[in-house]
Amino acid sequence: MASPERMKSIAWGRELSNLKMEPRRIMSRNQILAVGLCLLAQPFNLPSYAQEDMSRAAWKARPYPPLPDDVARKQVVIWSDGTRMAGDVYLPKNVTADAKLPAIVFVHGTGGVKKMPWSIKLAVESARRGYAFLNFDYRGWGESDSRLMMLEEMPEPDAEGNVAVKTRAIRWQMDFGDQVTDIRNAIGFIAGEPNVNFERIGVFGTSYGGGLATWIAAKDPRVKCAVAQVPGMGGQRGLPYYQHAYTLMARQARGDVEPVPFKTGAPGGTMAAYKHMRYNPSKNAVYDVFQAVEKIKTPLMIIDAGKEELMDITQQGGRVAQIVEENGSPFEYHVIENMTHYGIYGEHQDTILKMELNWFDKYLKTSND
């Protein structure tokens, strides 16, 4: 158990010991249904972008908001497993050619893309604090190219290995395994930037991107610091979840159902407004943040919403905080009592961002920065 002094450092507004977290256990089908119905009953407001035109062309055509005079932005291409991802690198405008800055890679949640004003604000404020900040779109999201599914048998390649075949773009998939690959390649990209110190890279994730950032922080030695805000960590997955996921995997592998969810897999309940998104349990079954953080050594800050409307924080960020506390890694866990999930992108953003950047400063900057 943490000392009183340590407990004060890991909780703001609520002590970790008061979260009443129980040991991990397998939930019954009825318990899972009850949790789902509880979430459906929660009132909340989806951001307006969830119901806008989410096509690639629409995002490419959307203008950026104006940048302040002291921040520079350049558009970049990041290669991830043979597919181009669209990214933006933000830097202080007065950075010298020989400067080596710490860097932050931002990891989006459901439907998040690099042109959203709140993520640009994160980028701008980070650059003003002396960071290189990479904001990017996953493969198949926003402006990035998509992975492709062949709709017919592949013909023989020509002498250069090229083929012409009818394909379908795989768009807006919530595919944690592929997105972990995207994040790792984004880290690789920013590590190669001339103004970046590749030994001082942090990851910053929001919503289910907070879970991805936590997983990466536990697994990738290049990451030296991490922040996860209002994170979806995967929750408690019991036997019914895995039975469904692996049954679906077998049916997809045999072609009995769509190999990739296009017509199926749309979010329901409180997330139904994200009608363009698709979720594939068979791809995400092997992704386990709780197992990953059992051996995490990377400093981690978790910010939870006291009025979280999408999930039970004791089984998400709170549970990860408990595991990290037990293994003794550097961390802070804050619950903002009067904040909702989406409030972190609005009225609470300025206050929370100061805390988060102070955390990055502590572990990514030196006395000379």
**How far, in Å, CA of 316 to CA of 289, rounded?**
9
> Does residue 369 sit within a domain?
no
> Does residue 209 sit within a domain?
yes
> Does residue 14 sit within a domain?
yes
Residue 234's pLDDT is 87
- The pLDDT-based confidence of 178 (bands split at 50, 70, 90) is very high
**What's the structural domain count of the chain?**
1
Residue 12's pLDDT is 37
Contact 48, 116 (CB under 8 A): no
CATH code: domain of residue 336: 3.40.50.1820
Instruction: Supply the range of the domain harboring residue 179.
Output: 4-20+27-364
| CA 295 to chain centroid | 20
Residue 49's pLDDT is 57
Residue 37's pLDDT is 29
Nearest to 102 by CA among 353, 354, 367, 369: 369
Judged by DSSP in three states, 311 sits in coil
- The pLDDT-based confidence of 297 (bands split at 50, 70, 90) is very high
Complete DSSP assignment for 36-97: HHHHHT------GGGGS---HHHHHHSPPPPPPTTEEEEEEEEEETTEEEEEEEEEETT--T
> Does residue 283 sit within a domain?
yes
pLDDT tens digit sequence for 192-244: 999 999 999 999 999 999 999 999 999 999 999 999 999 999 876 788 999 99
Residue 250's pLDDT is 97
pLDDT tens digit sequence for 278-295: 999 998 888 899 999 999
Residues 176-200, mean pLDDT to the nearest whole number: 97
Of the two residues 194 and 366, the one the predictor is more confident about is 194
pLDDT tens digit sequence for 82-118: 999 999 999 999 999 999 999 999 999 999 999 999 9
Of the two residues 37 and 176, the one the predictor is more confident about is 176
Residue 280 DSSP code = -
> Does residue 257 sit within a domain?
yes
> Does pLDDT of 251 surpass 90?
yes
- The pLDDT-based confidence of 367 (bands split at 50, 70, 90) is low
Residue 237's pLDDT is 79
Judged by DSSP in three states, 218 sits in helix
Global pTM reads 0.87
Residue 17's pLDDT is 35
Tokens for 5, please give them.
């002094």
Residue 52's pLDDT is 72
pLDDT tens digit sequence for 38-93: 333 333 355 555 557 889 999 999 999 999 999 999 999 999 999 999 999 999 99
> Does residue 270 sit within a domain?
yes
Residue 7's pLDDT is 31
> Does pLDDT of 8 surpass 50?
no
**How far, in Å, CA of 317 to CA of 19, rounded?**
11
Nearest to 126 by CA among 192, 70, 65: 70
* Share of residues in the chain with pLDDT > 70 (%): 85
Q: What average pLDDT does the structure give for the chain? A: 87
> Does residue 243 sit within a domain?
yes
